[in-house]
Every structure is written in C-alpha cells, then in structure tokens.
A and B are shown apart, each in its own frame.
Chain A
Amino acid sequence: MHEFPITQQIIRIAEGKTREAGASRVLAVSLVVGDQSGFIGDSIQMYFDAISEGTCCEGAVLTITHVRPKLRCTACGLLFERKPFSFACTGCGADGEPTEVGKEFYIDHIEVVPGGLDHD
C-alpha cells in the first residue's frame, strides 16, 4: 500500500530532473532499494506502470538494485549478513550492530532522450 505515494514521488523527482536537463522523455529509472528500507520493488513496479501514464516516464523501464542488510560486528568489525533469529557475527560470534547497509532507498540515475522540448 505505501508504495503508491512513494512511486508518485519517484516520478516527480524523475520529471524534475528531466525538465532541468531540457530532455523530453525518460527511458529508464534506476532505483537502489535496500531490503530493509521497507519498500518492495515489485510493488513499486506495479504502481510505476500505472502512475507514469501520461507523464514523461510513461513506458520507462524501472530497474531496481536490491541491497541485502548487513550488520557490523562490534568486536572484529566484519560486515555480515545475519542468519535468521541471530545477530551473531558470522566470523567471530560476537554481536553485530545495525548499519545503514540495506536501508537504501534512492534514485541512482535516469536515462532520458536528450532535447525534444520546444527549443529542440
């Protein structure tokens, strides 16, 4: 459910960048979505196709790079993916603590058709 307004925001950002560059049409939007961001790529994809209709993003290919969450070991500093029901470091067994890895949620880049506005 909450991917709907978020997808509108993605399209707004892409429209703004496209306008700034004097471009007309967006061919691709590339997102980076951490698995712990709370946003589901498949759901964004579904809304994207519907919401982008009639905007410069209509027909654009949405690509999503997923990032697995990682903890950092408080003892040895290793970055690791946790096992289910455990926060223990896969290297030394000490407790890991949360990091920002896996919480990403941003637009990396877009691909546009240059020009194409009135001054084209």
Chain B
Amino acid sequence: MTDFLRGVRRHRGHTGKPHTHPHFHGDHTGGDIGEPESDHTHNHEHDHAYNHEHGHGHNCADERNPLHSPGQGQENSHSAETMRLEVMEDILAENGRIADRVHECLHAKGIFCINIMGAPGAGKTTSLIRILENLKHLTPYVIEGDIESDIDTQTLRKLGVQTLQINTGGACHLDAPLIEKAISDMPLSERGILFIENIGNLVCPAEFKIGEDMKLLIATVTEGSDKPYKYPLAFEKADGILVNKVDLVPYLDFDEAFFMAGIRALNRTVPVFKVSGRSGEGFGEVVAWIESLAEQKTASH
C-alpha cells in the first residue's frame, strides 16, 4: 500500500496544475484500439512496485494516514482565494468496504460465494444449472442479477433451489450494496455455496467486488478467440474460467492456441475448463474443483 502511495505522490508531480485532456476512447476496456492520448504528455513510467492484489479494492482513504496527517493537505494553498486539499481517495473504496462486510457475513454463515460473470448469451444460467446438477455436498443458494425479468429465477426455483432475483432496472453490473441488501433477505441457514449470477456483460462486473470468494467467468467458443485481448480485465480478474459451447467447435474457426495465449498472459494460474452446457460435458470436473475449494473455506462450520 505504501508503494502505491509513493507512486501516487511521485505521479502528482505531473498533475499539479488543472488542465484539460481532450480524449477519445476507442475501447476503454482494452486500450488496444485508437490513440486516446495523442495530445497529452503523461508518459510517466510508474516504475514502483504496484502489485497489490485488490485492483480497485485498495483503500487509500484508510491507508493514507501515515503520509497525510490531518490538515497536511491544506499546505498547498494556491492563493488567498483558493486552497488545495489532497484527497487521494479511491472512488470505489466505499463499494470495497461493503464487499468486505458481505464477505465476512457470508463467511460467518459458512457460505462460499461465487460471482458468475460472462457476456449475454454465454450460458451463465445453463452452466449454473449444470453445476447445481453435479453439486454433491453443499447446499446451493442463488442470486440472479438481471436488468429486467425473473425468467432465470423461475427456472431455478422449479429445480428447488433457493433463488432471489435482483433487477437492476438498467444498471450494467451488480455492486456490493445490492448484494448486502439481498443477503439480508435470504436465510442462508445451512453451510453451502451462494452463486451470484451477474448481469450479462463482459466489462463492468469485473470492476466491482461484491463480497465473493471466487469470480467464475463463463467464456464461449462462439464469442471468438480474441476476447481475452479485447476484454482483458474480465480474464485477468477471473479465478476460474469455463469455456462453454465446445460442442460447437467443429462449426467454428475458434483458435484455441491464440485464446489460451491471451488468457495465460493475463492470468497465469487460472484453471480453465472446457464445457458444454448443452450436453453437460466437463461439468463434473468443474464441480469437483468448486466443491473442494468451498469445503476448505467453510470447513470450520
């Protein structure tokens, strides 16, 4: 954390004066298209160790105290009329704090939490159903996140799974406050696994912690083998990746080597499972892996 702050302070040397940055975002998730910043000169290196685990979760607000004692920020007055206040606060810190609270609450109840992410149509619900079919030892609970409708919730309830629907009414991801409210409405009385199916979206869900133990990404061969290169954050943040619809490979030009090279560059150790939601192929192995992790995490209950 102090490395982060040190880096930031050095960085501030470039940013002291208010200035504007005409800016064009070709693809904000990848930084791989377009020339966003041809007219600005912030090519600073950031050569400090910058490897803390929790991408957005770092809580600058709490960590900055050793460096910023109260009132210190007021030293940099620009003039009698204006005063500069150092803030250095991660804008997602509040979401991160709530996510930590959700995680603690679930842990206390013996619940292992899996955040299921993937594009619309990747087969998140179908994969979830296959996982539930194969689950042997732990009680499943589900929170379904959708912009609208409760189609998936109805399907899961018919299977006898305790399922709660969240409709975000347009919002593109679930965030920690939504989950904190949702779990307060669920009994979660037995040790088990809470599956949270996030909004179908390969971008935003990766940015928000919701208190999960594991982010499970459902990718598909039909989306194309370039997805790790175009949506790197989702692949970088995943703790497990299912490559769904492998039964369709004979009909596609899916370049598995290119796809896997992208995943490995972003995430060297993430387990990758080839599955077919349609046939059920591969899910036995997925569930054995999930259950062993969940058993370890909830063993004390």
Contact = CB atoms under 8 A, between A and B. Distances in A.
A38 B204 contact: yes
B36 A14 contact: no
Nearest to A25: B82
Contacts of B40: 66
A103 B236 CA distance: 12
B11 to A, nearest CB: 7
User: Dominant SS at the A interface?
Assistant: mixed
Interface in B7-44: 8, 11-12, 14-15, 18-21, 23, 25, 28-33, 36-37, 40, 42
A106 B85 contact: no
A105 B60 CA distance: 11
Interface string A28-72: 101110011111111000000000000000000101111111110
User: Dominant SS at the B interface?
Assistant: loop
Interface residues of A, number: 62
B15 A101 contact: no
Given A1-B170, A98-B232, A109-B73, A84 B32 contact: yes
A103 B88 CA distance: 15
Interface stretch (B126-134, B261-269, B277-285): B261-269
A38 B32 contact: no
A119 interface: no
B20 to A, nearest CB: 7
A69 B42 CA distance: 12
B226 interface: yes
Given A36-B232, A38-B206, A100-B52, A66 B42 contact: yes
Given A38-B204, A99-B50, A113-B81, 4 more contacts: A13-B89, A82-B31, A106-B8, A109-B76
Interface of A: 1-2, 5-6, 9-10, 13-14, 17-18, 21, 23, 27-28, 30-32, 35-42, 61, 63-71, 79, 81-87, 95-103, 105-114
19 contacts: A1-B172, A2-B204, A10-B91, A23-B83, A37-B207, A38-B206, A38-B233, A42-B25, A65-B42, A66-B42, A79-B47, A87-B266, A96-B265, A100-B51, A100-B55, A103-B56, A105-B91, A108-B12, A114-B83
